[in-house]
Structure 1
Amino acid sequence: MDPAANLEQKGSRPLGGTEHSWCRAVPGGTGITVLAMLFTKDPGAARLQNALHELQKSHPILRSRITRDNTNTFFFAVSPIPLLQIQSYDISTTSQLLQSLAEGGDPNIGRISPFHRIIEHELNQNPWSDQSETDVLFACVYTLTDSKWVVALRLHTAVCDRTSAVYMLKELLGLVRRRGGGGGGGGGGGVGEEQEKETEEFSLGIEQLIPSGKANKPFWARGVDLLGYTLNALRFANLEFKDVTSPRSSQVIRLQMNQDETDRILMECKVRGIKLCGAIAAAGLIAANCMKHLPDHQWEKYAIITLIDCRKLLDPPLQSHNIGFYHSAIVNTHDIKEGQELWELASRCYASFRDSINANKHFTDMADLHLLMNKAIDNPGLTPHSSLRTSFISVFEDPVIDDQHTQLHQWMGLEDYMGCSSVHGVGPSIAIFDTIHNGRLDFTCVYPSPLHSREQMQELIDTMKRILVGNGGD
């Protein structure tokens, strides 16, 4: 018998509402999460595969498949043993792939690095497109040269939010070090027995862990909010759409700042008592408005989605090693016109977000937002030009902070890494994944192409940087 067909039912469970929404979204192209690592030392496919198997043993959700029963209910069906097989590409095959990507019609793809191109390629590989029973985790090793390799993990977002991806990176590197033996350096090494015991349970979905009473909303209030979200969505402003008919894919632009620029921006946030997410969102709105060259008196309404890691807010609270999707979303709208000042708008964006949090909207509106997302998936014509855009920009409440270039990274030859998710189905025009690497801001910005062009989004990102840096403490 095919061992892949022998899925244990013990520990398997139906998907929660948030996870089910991702299962609806991923076939259309939103919710493919990629964690890519660039190495200057051969990571060893066999060693990596063994480490990934250890990771799957510790976290059952990573060795599950998403399947459906005859009532169309989605389940995580857990395999009793890890079944992942790494797909390896030698120099020749990788070179052929990169060449084919260069011939794909994007005139600017030659300006981005092979590492960047592979990330975009992985974001657009969709084994879940037909919603058949499929693993939630895939892994590839690409050999760029005799001294450079890319390791890419591709996951269904229903099992991996940004916190999970960050934890997986750290844990995987530690496990590889342990299996590699020796080496020069510390930095930890994988999951201890106590933590393995903690994580061997199959965690519930976020809806089952919301504290009692926190998600309550009167029936009529829910109806009014749904109507409000729907009517507001019809008035949301967007960047100009370049091509609304061609098949879509996700593309990436990276924005990096130096330490001085980063320090100035973070200091301005601290002085005003706001988080970085407010400044990023405000810079995005101002940049979008500037690109339209509207009359000074004309106002436009933009939507911002802010994603919150709810782990510490749940009952019982979860930790970063509880792998799954435990983020919630807050939608806020802001009216913008020419001449907006960055920090005034950033403070306004953050105040609206905090008011929503204080009103428990990250819990009370969770089901409403999922319903609206599913309605957009089923009826794209309800969105402008059938674009499936639900907001202009999405940001995270807090950045990932990676302030140690550890000896472990040096020992393994880890030169760079990026993590993000696809957005070319339902979603924002631009999704910002922000990290602070060794005191420097690093933004991975994902957008749907050719709905938006690379030139257009590069202009947007460059304008955002000028706004942030130009106002960052002058």
Structure 2
Amino acid sequence: MSDHNPNPDPTSPDPIARPVGGTEYSWCKAVPVGTGITVLALLLTKPPNLPLLQTALHNLQNSHPILRTKLHSDPATSSYSFLTPPSPHLQIQPFDLPSTAAILRPHSAVSPFRQILEHELNLNTWRHPDPTPDSDVFFAASYALSKSQWAFILRLHTSACDRAAAAALLKELLGLIKAGGGLGTERELKENGEVISALEDLIPNGKANKPFWARGVDMLGYSLNSFRLSNLEFKDVSLEKTSQMVKLRISPEHTDKLLAGCKSRGIKLCGVLAAAGLIAAHASKHLPDHQWEKYAVVTLLDCRSLLDPPLSANDFGFYHSAIMNSHDINGENTLWELAKRCYTTLLDSKSSNKHFTDMSDLNFLMCKAIENPGLTPSSSMRTAFISVFEDLVMDDSSEVHQELGLEDYEGCASVHGVGPSLAIFDSIRDGGLNCACIYPSPLHSREQMQDLMDHMKSILVEAVNLES
């Protein structure tokens, strides 16, 4: 986008530098402790053509400069910046059957594909930096799972790729593969090769304004409110945490009814998923129905269309903001009543521009929780019970998937540093609701979280069946 800050000729051997923005900085602090490692995992039934994939990825790096950036850290000033080299440099790391087998856990109930996904979610390149302060934001690997299945993995630093960008990245990558990697040639560098401006620099004038006293009151409110929040039962708070995944899937028939129920009530699915999670969490504690608990819900909003100038999902980077709301619930809440309340509260916050005015507050508190884990319950660094996305990812490209030998795929990010107990990455695939649900282990156990998912599913299905 040529109207974002002019810069030198990209053919120069010197990389182009841009300081990170406030939200990007919070991810630079979060990823080293384990939250914000974004993974796109593809399960293939055809051997991956690595030269073709290499060309496709280089074309993506040419089209989207942030994918070829290096994250530069300066310990002396505690600052970060994106350094954009003039040419792509990513190399796919291949793992043959013996190498993959050394990573997999034998006799595990978790599929090899899921194990590799979780392995990559916890492969933290940014935790132990090299002697040089520069690290790539984009990695790729190919794993031979068996003689008939392969996993192709893209791993990214979340500051360079939010969920909307990840969905666009997958779509563009599949298109390039179908076209032979970009017709066998590498694309021209996109315009001047500079990374687009940070989110904070593109907020429309006046939208993020907040009086100093109001900022102080809100910061105090967020801090005090956190001590009153309820959490899922913690299973083990002493061992080092990793990210694991459980699934929530609903049939196309029930998904249609669920979306119809949302439409008739003027709400979005994010409110329904949050409500189902809250009801299931309260029920998991076997409390009396009349006993109230307060839970925090974080909703992530894609701000691209609200910026000046507006961006699209093809503008890669991190352009989501968060709105945190708390909800008091007991065992008598019903799904649709609570979903309406969750979504109405979100709309009220959004209409007050809290996704912009509270951005720096939440980023500051996120960094404080990283630096001082003891400020969170049991030093767990849990800042909320659940996080959801305002908008769904829709995917109806199954014919392309079959042609490419793509049997399954997942897109999600790690949460075992600072963050929620449950992060839901939802999409509609072939008409059915598909949710990748990421949680910190062993803070929570796989059995505990799968039980929570099963209860959420039963709540959703029962609610739509009652309307039939």
Q: CA deviation at 1:243?
A: 0.3
Is 1:468 paired with 2:460? yes
- The equivalent of 1:417 in structure 2 is 409
Change (3 A) 1:371 1:265: same
The alignment partner of 2:283 has SS state of helix
Residues in 2 aligned to 1:216 and 1:181: alpha-carbon distance in whole angstroms:
44
- The equivalent of 2:3 in structure 1 is none
- The equivalent of 2:207 in structure 1 is 214
Is 1:313 paired with 2:279? no
- The equivalent of 1:376 in structure 2 is 369
Q: CA deviation at 1:181?
A: 8.9
Is 1:386 paired with 2:387? no
Identity among equivalent pairs (%): 59
Deviation string 1:159-190 (CA, Å, 9 cap, x unpaired) is 010011111111111222222699xxxxxx99
- The equivalent of 2:81 in structure 1 is 75
Q: CA deviation at 1:97?
A: 1.6
The alignment partner of 1:325 has SS state of coil
The alignment partner of 1:348 has SS state of helix
Residues in 2 aligned to 1:56 and 1:448: alpha-carbon distance in whole angstroms:
31
Q: CA deviation at 1:191?
A: 10
Residues in 1 aligned to 2:313 and 2:186: alpha-carbon distance in whole angstroms:
13
Provide the TM-score with structure 1 as the length reference.
0.92
Q: CA deviation at 1:60?
A: 1.1
| Residue pair 1:268, 1:473 contacting (<8 A) in 2 also | no
Pick from 422, 434, 448 the counterpart of residue 456 of structure 1. Answer: 448
Change (3 A) 1:133 1:236: same
Deviation string 1:338-362 (CA, Å, 9 cap, x unpaired) is 1211100000000000000000000
Q: What is the aligned-residue RMSD (CA, Å)?
A: 1.9
- The equivalent of 1:342 in structure 2 is 335
Residues in 1 aligned to 2:192 and 2:42: alpha-carbon distance in whole angstroms:
24
The aligned runs of 1:410-449 (5 Å cut-off) are 410-449=402-441
The aligned runs of 1:40-439 (5 Å cut-off) are 40-69=45-74, 70-98=76-104, 101-102=105-106, 110-131=108-129, 132-179=133-180, 197=190, 200-406=193-399, 408-439=400-431
Residues in 2 aligned to 1:137 and 1:287: alpha-carbon distance in whole angstroms:
36
Residues in 1 aligned to 2:55 and 2:187: alpha-carbon distance in whole angstroms:
16
Deviation string 1:242-274 (CA, Å, 9 cap, x unpaired) is 000001100000111111110111111111110
Is 1:39 paired with 2:44? yes
Residues in 1 aligned to 2:57 and 2:192: alpha-carbon distance in whole angstroms:
15
Change (3 A) 1:30 1:8: farther
Deviation string 1:271-295 (CA, Å, 9 cap, x unpaired) is 1110000000000000000010112
Change (3 A) 1:190 1:211: farther
Residues in 1 aligned to 2:92 and 2:345: alpha-carbon distance in whole angstroms:
45
- The equivalent of 2:17 in structure 1 is 12
One-letter amino acid of the counterpart of residue 81, structure 1: S
| Residue pair 2:84, 2:195 contacting (<8 A) in 1 also | no
* Alignment size in residue pairs: 452
The alignment partner of 1:319 has SS state of coil
Residues in 2 aligned to 1:416 and 1:369: alpha-carbon distance in whole angstroms:
35
| Residue pair 2:56, 2:181 contacting (<8 A) in 1 also | no
One-letter amino acid of the counterpart of residue 335, structure 2: L
- The equivalent of 1:106 in structure 2 is none
| Residue pair 2:53, 2:181 contacting (<8 A) in 1 also | no
Residues in 2 aligned to 1:200 and 1:273: alpha-carbon distance in whole angstroms:
42
Deviation string 1:391-415 (CA, Å, 9 cap, x unpaired) is 0000000110002313x32221111
Task: Point out the more displaced range, 440-449 or 197-206.
Answer: 197-206
The alignment partner of 1:290 has SS state of helix
The alignment partner of 2:464 has SS state of coil
Q: CA deviation at 1:59?
A: 1.1
One-letter amino acid of the counterpart of residue 312, structure 1: S
Residues in 1 aligned to 2:187 and 2:31: alpha-carbon distance in whole angstroms:
33
Q: CA deviation at 1:130?
A: 2.9
Residues in 1 aligned to 2:356 and 2:367: alpha-carbon distance in whole angstroms:
18
Task: Point out the more displaced range, 254-263 or 173-182.
Answer: 173-182
Residues in 1 aligned to 2:177 and 2:406: alpha-carbon distance in whole angstroms:
12
Provide the TM-score with structure 2 as the length reference.
0.93
| Residue pair 1:171, 1:191 contacting (<8 A) in 2 also | no
Note the residue ranges of structure 2 that are not aligned, 5 or more in a row.
Answer: 1-10
Change (3 A) 1:180 1:200: closer
Residues in 1 aligned to 2:194 and 2:70: alpha-carbon distance in whole angstroms:
16
Residues in 2 aligned to 1:311 and 1:78: alpha-carbon distance in whole angstroms:
22
